[in-house]
Amino acid sequence: MKSYRIILAITAVAALAAAQSSYRTPLGYDPAAFSQWLIRVDSQPIAAGSQTVQVPVATLTIAGGPSFQPLATDVPARVNDGSQSETVTPTAVACTAGVCSVTATFAHAHPGSFTLSSADAGLQEAVNWCDSHGGGIVVVGTDFTGSASAETALTGGNANTLIADTRSGSFQWFTWRGSNYGQMWAISGTSVLMGGNNIAALGCSGVSTAMVAGTVTVSAGCITGSRPMSLTEATKGGTQGILSYTESGGQIIISSSSTSDTSTVAWVQN
């Protein structure tokens, strides 16, 4: 096993600084904000096989957001190197004083400069950040570019960190099961599903049309002012804000704190 020192180029910092700064949604944390890291490296030639490299960066900072560690044994990294590009998952990561020693098995040799980036659309990075801060909710929304089964492919997690998937306009909740995430329950239309089985019916739910100037009105015969309502963005548009609502005469007036918000809104009245 050989060890090479990788020199971080200035463009790596610039690439992250240009990343999405809205790392929070009204429901939780957006993995898209954790996906936009890009580290350009210039190194001595790396041969195929198990290699250890010294990467002089331990944490990166989202513009307007938190710092996080992109390199970990449960985070797949994309090696961008033309026809020799590949995805590797480190088998060991040890960071001290701003330098990470990273061991991975490379399928290809890499003779010169290349870049490293997220290979899972930031999902594991967001989960890891939540885990290190006591837990939270990671929200997989329509801006997520990972696979349809990305949640169950994760190998790191914590019982205090939940994943909410709102990509299809329905709600799916995933919880940590000790070695992977599994679906706990889902809301589809007016049904509550657990393990694919319909276990309950919701009183009232739906998805609005796009907000105009940060507001939209929805009507449904089942709406009543006596029950609480949950709101979340279904399809993001414009500049997102904090959602709120008022109810009057069988109608819900949904408002965003941003008048530039043109998102559609998934709503559920329990």
* Residues across the chain: 270
- 245 to 59, 82, 216, 229: CA distances (angstroms): 39, 50, 10, 8
Is residue 33 domain-shared with residue 140, that is, in the same domain?
Answer: no
Share of the chain above pLDDT 90, in %: 46
Confidence at residue 108, expressed as pLDDT on a 0 to 100 scale? 96
Do 173 and 262 fall into the same domain? no
- pLDDT higher than 60, residue 6: no
Domain that holds residue 247: 204-269
CA-closest candidate to residue 261, choices 48, 78, 96, 25: 25
Segment 93-136, tens digit of pLDDT: 999 888 888 899 999 999 878 888 999 999 999 999 999 999 99
Span of 29-43, 125-139, 196-210 with lowest mean pLDDT: 196-210
Same domain, 42 and 124: yes
Asked whether the predicted pLDDT for residue 15 surpasses 90, the reply is no
Closest by Cα among 153, 73, 92 to 121: 153
Alpha-carbon dihedral 146, 151, 134, 159, rounded to 10 degrees: 180
Kindly state whether residues 114 and 58 are assigned to the same domain. Answer: yes
Q: Same domain, yes or no, for 167 and 47?
A: no
Answer yes or no: do 9 and 127 share one domain: yes
pLDDT at 113: 81
183 and 240 share a domain? no
Q: Let me know whether 106 and 142 are in one domain.
A: no
Both 18 and 126 in one domain: the answer is yes
End position of a domain, from candidates 131, 151, 169: 131
What's the pTM value of the predicted model, to 2 decimals? 0.69
